[in-house]
């Protein structure tokens, strides 16, 4: 089978002008689709004569029909030969440029071998979330504006049905990203791990437990209770898709080509749906419950210590998608006391990130790619939407994520020192939370924000960058 796939891949390359004449390769259910640099080098007649090629379609891309099942293997073999991933640009050249490219690749391979395991994990996380940054930014800004307007309505500063309609429409736009984030993460995770993106999206959708009702719940095998929609969050999705990619690759190696396209996805989804629902989600739920208990203990301690600890730990919670479990705590506090004193403290984590981002912008001006990411993610970060800065800027770099957490801890300590700073409702943090701060404590909240900005900036400026970051090498 391997010889057959290799022969088809070589036959295609031989008759399209070689690897160096192909810009990009993707595939559909039956066709290998190639973007060609110079069509004068393509020999359609000989290409059709390649053993295993069933036909050739000339469209906006050159499409070589090899059949279901086979197409996955042939396309993968072709990109492996070029040293890229499916859909990535292929810049294979010849002569001097080819030698230089080989040297660069060798250097990169050596660097990759010397990478720490956690660096590889952070890189994978970055690859999963960076493509979502434009959606985070656009929907985040709209959602931030909606939250500000909504907070102003709650505070009685604006009123009327027209405002309610405007806010509703803006929140619908925001929900287009954040309500279905699991699905997007599932698709991108599958791309990162070499699995089928559509199957990854299904795994993300499974965690939402669509169709499950309170009258017919699914059991939680760990607690004995019932599973809740989105239990496990995006970290559960990533882990589930990672396992799925292993199973899918193993199956495709042994599955006959004639039934691969039907049988493989069916078996993969059947196995992973059971594993995801009855194992991954309960385990993530158990982690979440333990985290809630830990947070309650910290709140009981109170003061500067609690403020620092909560402010510093909130970014990792957002990273793992566990911050949603705090909603019941916020609502319980508001019901019993009229405000949640937890939310203003946690909002300082976002302030630490904003300060860290500004410091990176200042210190790493030569890193144009990083600066562009910061420009896009910073506005929504100020409004309290932290995901773009987490996944696109601080987390992939490592150090700035830690210094941002320190900045959040400093802001949280200031809020904890003041005490009694609460929010009358829940929503985004950052500047968008100001209209909901309880009367008489808005100034304290703003001071906390400024302290978070300053703490994140100072910690990152002096300790959060490396020479490679500053020179734009990473």
Answer whether CATH 3.20.20.70 is correct for domain 1-92.
Answer: no
What pLDDT score does 97 carry? 45
Angle (CA) 412-392-287 rounded to 5° is 55
What pLDDT score does 345 carry? 95
What pLDDT score does 362 carry? 94
Sheet-wide strand order for 22-27 = 22-27, 31-36, 62-65, 55-58
138 vs 460: CA distance, rounded Å: 27
**What letter would DSSP give residue 441?**
-
Beta bridge partners of 17: none
- What tens-digit pLDDT sequence spans the chain (474 residues)? 578 899 999 999 999 999 999 999 988 777 899 999 888 999 999 999 999 898 888 877 899 988 877 888 999 999 999 888 888 888 654 444 444 444 444 444 544 555 556 566 766 776 787 677 677 767 767 876 887 788 788 888 899 999 999 999 998 987 887 778 889 989 999 998 989 999 999 999 999 898 888 888 998 888 788 888 888 777 788 899 999 999 999 998 899 888 988 999 999 999 999 999 999 988 876 776 676 567 667 777 778 999 999 999 998 887 765 666 677 677 667 767 778 889 999 999 999 999 999 999 999 988 888 888 888 889 888 988 777 788 778 988 889 999 999 999 999 999 999 988 988 777 668 998 888 888 778 899 999 999 999 999 999 999 999 988 887 766
Which of the following is catalytic: 1, 28, 103, 179? 28
Which among 381, 392, 375, 378 has a CA at the least distance from the CA of 429?
A: 381
150 vs 156: CA distance, rounded Å: 10
Q: Compute the half-sphere exposure of residue 129: CA atoms within 13 Å on the CB side of its CA.
A: 31
Task: For CA atoms 200, 202, 208, 214, give the dihedral sign.
Answer: negative
28 is catalytic: yes
430 vs 451: CA distance, rounded Å: 12
3-state class of 213 per DSSP?
Answer: strand
Torsions phi, psi of 196, nearest 5? -75, 120
What pLDDT score does 245 carry? 95
3-state class of 22 per DSSP?
Answer: strand
What pLDDT score does 116 carry? 58
Which residues in the chain are classed under CATH 3.30.1360.60?
A: 1-92
């Amino acid at each position: 089978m391997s010889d057959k796939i290799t022969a088809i891949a070589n036959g295609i390359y031989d008759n399209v002008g070689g690897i160096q004449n192909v810009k990009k390769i993707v595939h559909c259910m039956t066709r290998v689709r190639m973007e060609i640099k110079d069509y004068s080098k393509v020999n359609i007649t000989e290409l059709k004569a390649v053993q295993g090629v069933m036909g050739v379609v000339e469209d906006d891309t050159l499409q070589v029909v090899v059949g279901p099942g086979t197409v996955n293997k042939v396309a993968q073999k072709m990109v492996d030969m070029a040293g890229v991933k499916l859909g990535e640009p292929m810049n294979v050249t010849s002569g001097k440029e080819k030698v230089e490219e080989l040297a660069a690749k060798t250097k990169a391979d050596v660097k990759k071998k010397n990478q720490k395991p956690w660096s590889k994990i952070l890189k994978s996380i970055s690859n999963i979330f960076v493509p979502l940054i434009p959606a985070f930014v656009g929907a985040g800004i709209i959602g931030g504006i909606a939250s500000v307007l909504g907070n102003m309505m709650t505070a009685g500063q604006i009123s009327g049905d027209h405002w309610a309609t405007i806010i509703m429409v803006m929140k619908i736009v925001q929900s287009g990203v954040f309500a279905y984030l699991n699905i997007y993460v599932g698709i991108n995770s599958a791309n990162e791990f070499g699995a089928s993106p559509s199957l990854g999206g299904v795994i993300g959708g499974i965690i939402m437990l669509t169709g499950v009702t309170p009258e017919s719940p699914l059991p939680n095998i760990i607690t004995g209770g019932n599973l809740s929609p989105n239990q496990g969050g995006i970290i559960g999705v990533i882990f589930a898709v990672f396992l799925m990619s292993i199973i899918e690759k193993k199956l495709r190696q042994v599955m006959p080509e004639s039934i691969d396209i039907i049988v493989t996805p069916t078996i993969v989804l059947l196995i992973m749906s059971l594993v995801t629902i009855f194992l991954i989600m309960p385990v993530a739920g158990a982690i979440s419950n333990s985290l809630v208990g830990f947070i309650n203990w910290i709140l009981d301690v109170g003061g500067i210590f609690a403020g620092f600890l909560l402010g510093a730990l909130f970014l990792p919670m957002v990273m793992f998608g566990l911050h949603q479990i705090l909603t019941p705590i916020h609502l319980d506090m508001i019901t019993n006391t009229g405000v949640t004193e937890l939310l203003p403290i946690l909002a300082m984590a976002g302030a630490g990130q904003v300060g860290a981002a500004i410091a990176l912008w200042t210190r790493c001006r030569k890193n144009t790619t990083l600066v562009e990411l910061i420009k896009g993610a910073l506005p929504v970060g100020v409004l309290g939407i932290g995901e773009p800065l987490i996944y696109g800027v601080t987390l992939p770099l490592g150090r700035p994520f830690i210094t941002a957490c320190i900045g959040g801890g400093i802001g949280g300590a200031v809020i904890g020192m003041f005490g009694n700073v609460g929010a009358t409702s829940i929503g985004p943090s950052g500047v968008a939370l100001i209209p909901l701060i309880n009367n008489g404590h808005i100034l304290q909240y703003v001071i906390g924000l400024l302290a978070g900005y300053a703490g994140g900036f100072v910690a990152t400026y002096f300790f959060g960058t490396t020479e490679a970051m500053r020179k734009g090498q990473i």
